Amino acid sequence: MPIARYGVFKGRPIARILGEGQNPHYQVHAIDPASDGRLAINVKSKVEPSELLYAIVEDLQHPLTARLRDLPQGFTPLASEPGGLALDYVRGGLVDRAQMVVMPFADAGPGDDLYDRLDALIIRAIGDGEAVLYAWGASWAGEAQKDKYFGFHPGAGVHDVHMNQGNAANFAGDDGTWQDGGLLLNIRRSDGRWLWTAVFLAFQSQSWKTDDHGHTIAGDDAGAAGVDVGDVRIVAATIDAAKGAGSLVTLINASADAIALAGWSLLTYDGARHPIDGELAAGGVLTLALDARLGAAGDALALV
């Protein structure tokens, strides 16, 4: 079954600890006006290869951010469905697999591991009294003992702050759509503009070709079908096309081989699925007509 108690925590980071041992996590102490919480962020996979995939988007532009400002502080449960505040790496248009980089969690040099990259962002946010942190994942609460890292009571927090679909077989029970984890930091720049910085994390063992239950589509994963995620890319789309007309979306095949598009779909942010078909030649471009209009106020597209 999908992960339990999915939602988003909104608050202010005040401390952090770099975890050690066989299952290390980057631990963040965050507060809202009424309570304390700990964000347990995976930095190493239990399934080989152990290094995580990560992407840091320095200036995220997405319809989601406009709705986050009015969200109350603390943990907000979310329905795992499109059109709300839930995250889905595959369907939500927030991040592309091609953006993600393999990174060890700890290394000897400065700035060359996942701890260094996360720490640079979190330390900056801790030092900024106005910065707001948003963490998506699964919540826990009501621990009888003090938090084992930061000492507040009762222990509570958010974990699974990473992609939660397309899992390896022994974690497939956690699969689901619109339940991915992630971090957003909202920090005011020196010019007064608020900047949204996003952190997306995934395991190398996870598939980016998933069905409507978040399970890996057999034979369609990168490596199995010979099509790497990112070979087919969305390069253009008409926004707010003339009244009564659909939108046009342009795809490019960035690989050296023709790719069959049968079984693929375009998803808009409201969760509507638009099946596509045909074959895209190596290096070729294909423009598709959608039977839906993309809104000028913001929309998102994803290939699945």
Pair 47, 68: CB distance under 8 Å: no
The per-residue pLDDT for 295 is: 60
Question: What is the average pLDDT across 257-269?
Answer: 78
More confident residue, 247 or 246: 247
The per-residue pLDDT for 269 is: 64
Q: Tell me: the pLDDT tens digits for 219-233? A: 654 433 344 556 787
Q: Tell me: the pLDDT tens digits for 2-25? A: 899 999 999 999 999 998 888 899
Residue 190 predicted with pLDDT over 90: no
The per-residue pLDDT for 252 is: 79
Sheet holding 273-275, edge to edge: 273-275, 265-268, 301-303
Q: What is the distance between the alpha carbons of residues 68 and 143, in angstroms, rounded to a whole number?
A: 28
Which residue(s) pair with 202 in the sheet?
A: 53
The per-residue pLDDT for 239 is: 65
Q: Tell me: the pLDDT tens digits for 209-220? A: 999 999 998 765
Provide the 8-state DSSP code for 44: B
Angle (nearest 5°) at CA 285 between 281 and 291: 115
Question: What is the average pLDDT across 80-97?
Answer: 93
Look over the chain and give the mean of its residue pLDDT values, rounded to a whole number. 86
- Choose the weakest-confidence range: 12-16, 256-260, 270-274, 278-282: 270-274
Query: What tokens appear for 288 in the block?
Result: 């598709």
Query: What tokens appear for 153 in the block?
Result: 């009571």
User: Which among 75, 217, 257, 272 has a CA at the least distance from the CA of 157?
Assistant: 75
Question: What is the average pLDDT across 277-289?
Answer: 79
The per-residue pLDDT for 227 is: 46
Q: What is the distance between the alpha carbons of residues 304 and 191, in angstroms, rounded to a whole number?
A: 38
The per-residue pLDDT for 281 is: 81
Q: What is the distance between the alpha carbons of residues 199 and 184, in angstroms, rounded to a whole number?
A: 6
What are the start-end ranges of the E strands in the chain?
6-18, 25-32, 35-42, 52-57, 74-77, 101-103, 132-143, 155-159, 182-188, 194-203, 232-237, 248-253, 259-260, 265-268, 273-275, 279-280, 285-289, 301-303
The per-residue pLDDT for 300 is: 64
The per-residue pLDDT for 21 is: 83
Q: Tell me: the pLDDT tens digits for 127-165? A: 998 999 999 999 999 888 999 999 999 999 999 999 999
Q: What is the distance between the alpha carbons of residues 43 and 104, in angstroms, rounded to a whole number?
A: 8
The per-residue pLDDT for 108 is: 63
Question: What is the average pLDDT across 158-187?
Answer: 96
For 234-260, what is the HEC assignment?
Answer: EEEECCCCCCCCCCEEEEEECCCCCEE
User: Which among 57, 134, 63, 116 has a CA at the least distance from the CA of 92?
Assistant: 63
More confident residue, 271 or 34: 34
162 burial via Cβ count (<10 Å: 0-12, 13-18, 19+)? buried
